[in-house]
Structure 1
Amino acid sequence: METPLSLFELNALVKRSLSQCLPDEYWVQAELSDVRSNATGHCYLEFIQKDARSNNLIAKARGTVWANVFGLLKPYFEEATGQAFTSGIKVLVKVTVEFHELYGYSLTVYDIDPTYTLGDMARRRREILKQLEEEGVLTLNKELEMPLLPQRIAVISSPTAAGYGDFCHQLEHNSRGFFFYTELFPALMQGNQVEESVLAALDAINNRLDSFDAVVIIRGGGATSDLSGFDTYLLAASCAQFPLPVITGIGHERDDTVLDSVAHTRVKTPTAAAEFLINRMEQAADMLDNLAEELREGALLRLEQERQRLLVAKNRIPSLVFSHLSEAKMQLLTAKKDLFQSVSSLLIRQKHRLELLHQRVNDAAPEHLLNRGYSITLKNGKVITSAAQLADGDVISTRLAKGEISSVVNGKIINK
């Protein structure tokens, strides 16, 4: 049996072998992923290659651009292409192959060809967004009105993702004590089944639209290359046309997926998604507080106005009473005068009428008729008005204006 090698010895052997077999610099085509730089100016990134048909990753390698090279390479590339040196672009770089006993295989970048333009990932994103725009659905979800109180949240995430736990913790421990109801719709957030899994979750939510106010799609950290599942047409089209506002927190600050572009609101992290919902609730609460304060101030102002009005009315009561009494006194005096005049006028009219009646009575009195030459014939004190009332030999008396004559009937003539 040969003497066994330690792991370090084996890695050292690999390092020497690679140095001997691949001693030169090589131009390599690859897509950038997970590009980041630190305070020292070094750039650490990931090179990836995808299958043209399935879009699955078929190769991956760590890369490093040291500060002395990156300080020249980045502005040179961005000025020449107008494209930021960031994840999602396809590049042609000159590299050397490195192997470290502890950190393993990596590529060190020394140069870049700026004529090699944007890669498949960025181009595919542009094409998807253009297609959605042509179909008229690109901004549909953004045009939805976010509920004033988004408390019922449908969450699409991996149940084991740290981001999901951070999201729930942030909601549950908000400083204002707002209540949120969340329901998880589990989905795979990395790998080849991201699209299928998230679409299934959206379908499940769509069957219960009345139960939720908004949808949150969140994912924890991870490499930029793991975000490729969120750059598909079907997923973007479904989210763009979804009837509830969609909030995404699936990437890093430096990443922007197609799904982010069509969602109602895009935030950086799951925690930021929770903060967005809390802020929305705080805005509503502040608005209610302002309305309550305005109502209180309005009520106090109205009470003060009514108090002043009552005070003015109270002060006016004596003068109003005196004024009304004076007016009533004048009305009584006027009524008294009018009554006196009316009674006087009535008495005058009635006196005149009595005088007329008296005159008529006087004119009809027997004495008056006797004075005019008429006479009254009486028999036994009763007035005789017809000769048929008398018989021959009856004694009658005739009353004149002056005196009275007694006679005996000795014949009579009866007029027919």
Structure 2
Amino acid sequence: MPQTITDKTIFSLAEVARSIQKTIADRYKSLYWIKAEMNKLNHYSHSGHCYPELLEKKDGKVIAEIRSTLWKGDYERINQRFMEVTKEPLKNGINILMQASINYDPVHGLSLHILDIDASYSLGELEREKQASIVILKEQGIFDANKQLIFPVLPKRLAIISVETSKGLADFLKIIDNNPYGYHFEHRLFPALLQGEKSVPSIIDQLKQVRLSLHDFDVVAIIRGGGGDVGLSSYNNVLLATAIATFPIPVITGIGHATNETVSEMVAYKNAITPSALADYLLQHFHDFARPVAYAEQVLRSKTTQLFEKQHQLLNNTIKYFRMVSINELQENRHQLASLRSRTLQQSKQVLIQEKNSFKQLKDLLSAQSKHILMEEKQNITFLGQRLKRENIHLNKHSRQILVQVKVQLIRQVHHIASKERAQLNELQNSLALHGNKSIQEATKKIESQERHLSILDPQHVLKRGYSITLLEGKAIKNANMLKEGDKVKTILALGEIESEITFVKGNNKTEKYE
């Protein structure tokens, strides 16, 4: 009961609380359907009870907030039906339509006692948000912006936005990192919350981080594990969908559900129902590139092998031809050299015989002349002695000595003349012998030089010195005027061959014939 003190009626706090409790109980006797955002479920596993925090927002501001209770039995029943309809349990951050009574407790204050939740309402809220976001994106002309980007031929550098412990991420990485084809992917994880009210700013912030190193990536992959539609409400958010639609490189999603697409999936370049399906999509791009390349490689190897075999046969034929021509030329020159050597030796012998005959004749002539001179001198001496005798000239001893000295001197002169003639004859003989040997040596050197020259003309030796043979349709090119732009020519080197296409020809104005 209230007290009266100095004309003041005073109530205790308990009295006021009980009065409020009675008033509310008398005023709110019925059950009411109330819509609100369940900010936090506050489920306590030890007791099984829940104490949800309920909010109502307007323009992003909280305009109403109240606590509520959901007892264990009611929670189990409602949660079971909620999972059957939405494929997800009750959780934080969802809009609900609940049936509740209004209660006031003097200790715990005002609260709502939740008796039932309409699961279909939560699905309807998602759909309304989804349609509103689609309208806004289409009015801004950005709904298909990301889809219009050019997808890389080989999307190997991936920026992945996901939760590090997500099972969907583990499945995705297992497929791309352990693919049996040996395709190599580079990926970097940008961790983010993927559901709940904080998921939208978290994913948008990580997209901003990817932009800072955009040149390091080919695509962005948003990967989330399985779940129902209620947990996907953040992916219908217009801000998140705008960030994905306007991202400068393709965004692909593997959010992990098989029901209606969210707005974020609609505006992404490609969405897959599971992370595993998204990994298969990337591998397929590598397949689409690798198969034609493998076929082209096979064709190129086959054509190259055939071409090498053909050119090898052509080169062998050319080598055989050059070798045959060289051998024939060498044999012909050897025959000519042998004939020349034979003629040279024969002529040298003839010259030597002639010189020997001339030398013998000269020797005989010199010998005869020497004998003749000696005989003449002897005759002169004899004649002189006889004359002296006839003239009765008496010679004394001194005169006889002078006469003997003159005789000796004449004999010496005869011998000197004979020796000189003999020396000249020997010199002439040596000269003839030297001349004959020199002629033979010169002929031999000439033959050896021609043999070396013919050996050098062998095509293999020519190629080894850095020269090459250029062929057009199997024929050797000797004049640039034989070529035109677009012709395909083959160049034979000492080791290997080169095939090329003519892009420029500089001819010679001189006209020469080559066979």
Q: TM-score, normalised by structure 1?
A: 0.48
**Higher RCO, Cα 8 Å, sep 6+:** 1
**Larger helix percent:** 2
Q: TM-score, normalised by structure 2?
A: 0.40
